[in-house]
Amino acid sequence: MKTSTLFLLLCFSFFASTAQTKAPVKNYGIAIHGGAGTILKSDLSPELEKQYKAKLQEALDAGYAILEKNGTSLDAVEAAIKVMEDSRLFNAGSGSVFTSEGKNEMDAAIMDGKTLKAGAVAGVRTIKNPITAARCVMDKSPHVILSGSGADLFAKQCGCATADSSYFFTEKRWQQLLKAKEQEKLTPEKSDTLGSLSPQQNEFNDKKFGTVGAVALDRNGNLAAATSTGGMTNKKPGRIGDSPVIGAGTYANNKTCAVSCTGHGEFFIRHVVAFDISALMEYKNLTLAQATEEVVMHKLVKVKGEGGVIAIDSKGNISMPFNTPGMYRGFRKSDGKTAVLIYR
């Protein structure tokens, strides 16, 4: 009698736990961006366009491969970002721009939509992959953001790969800095009190907002977002943009969506762009497409904030609006739909 009762209890427990197990998500996927701005077909040679598309595809494939094998969305966005950080094509990691002092100061953030845990680094100078350092802050510290030398030291202690300044030097970025400084001398009235031009004022910056980002939904229904950047050419030392600011340039919440932004960071910080999209979905029941459209194409446009976002919701829907002429972007979904795009 006791054996029968135990057997029945075990059976009940098994079926109860099975019923509570979350069904695997069918519409998992990933979206990425490599920056927005005045990106015109006339400005890119066929060879350079080919290089950008190939690297974007590589980043997409790296992240999607993890999702396909039942990996986490956090691992997927980190993998995708690292591909772009390792490429000199993008303003992140090895291709980062220079500050007014001729230094590289990089920012990155990552967020887990399941737990709302997040990690970020700002102003790091020696970390090859700032996104991995941000992941370490999230996983191995009680903090959300570490900055400057403290962030560099923490990342090194966590085993993140490091490099000296020569690793981050590219002639193209250096020439951009020199041209920005020359323009600054010619039009000092357009600079602020400390001499750094905004992206709108700096014609040699080509009005490109260099950031890389990724958002993903995994098979278990968990969302994640990640963003990494070298910031603005000729920026003041210590300037921090929206990328590492949770809710401004990066945000993820399983209730709604995951968002990564690219654009003039000061506007994205002031208007808490990434969180605003999530809030519109949660509190006003807007769809992902409606929420991203409202924020990027209406709210930001009204205040002359330039840029775009990539976002994915808990159902696997993807939205990638931008109010600039172009945005390096791409997506890949489990239903077979995929694309890599640059122009409007």
Q: Give the tens place of pLDDT for each residue, 282-297.
A: 999 999 999 999 999 9
Where along the chain do its domains lie? 25-343
pTM of structure = 0.89
What mean pLDDT value characterizes the chain?
Answer: 90
Residues 6+ apart with CB under 8 A from 308: 33, 36, 261, 262, 263, 296, 320, 321, 322, 323, 324, 327, 329
Provide the residue type at 224 as one letter. Answer: A
What is the Cα–Cα distance from 92 to 108, expressed in whole angstroms? 9
**Top-level CATH class of 25-343?**
alpha beta
The active-site residue out of 99, 132, 211, 233 is 211
Six-digit token pair at 266? 């000061």
211 flagged as catalytic: yes
> What percent of the chain is predicted at pLDDT more than 70?
87
Residue 22 confidence (pLDDT)? 56
> What percent of the chain is predicted at pLDDT more than 90?
82
Q: Cα 107 vs. chain centroid, distance in angstroms?
A: 10
Question: What pLDDT, in 10s, does the model give residues 178-194?
Answer: 999 998 888 765 544 33
Residue 4 confidence (pLDDT)? 53
pLDDT band at 208 (very low <50, low <70, confident <90, very high): low
Q: Where are the alpha helices (DSSP H) in the chain?
A: 2-20, 46-68, 73-85, 130-140, 148-157, 171-186, 265-270, 273-284, 288-293, 300-302
Question: What pLDDT, in 10s, does the model give residues 63-94?
Answer: 999 999 999 999 999 999 999 999 999 999 99
> What 3-state DSSP class applies to 271?
coil
pLDDT band at 1 (very low <50, low <70, confident <90, very high): very low
Taking 80 as the threshold, does the pLDDT of residue 237 lie above it?
yes
Taking 60 as the threshold, does the pLDDT of residue 49 lie above it?
yes
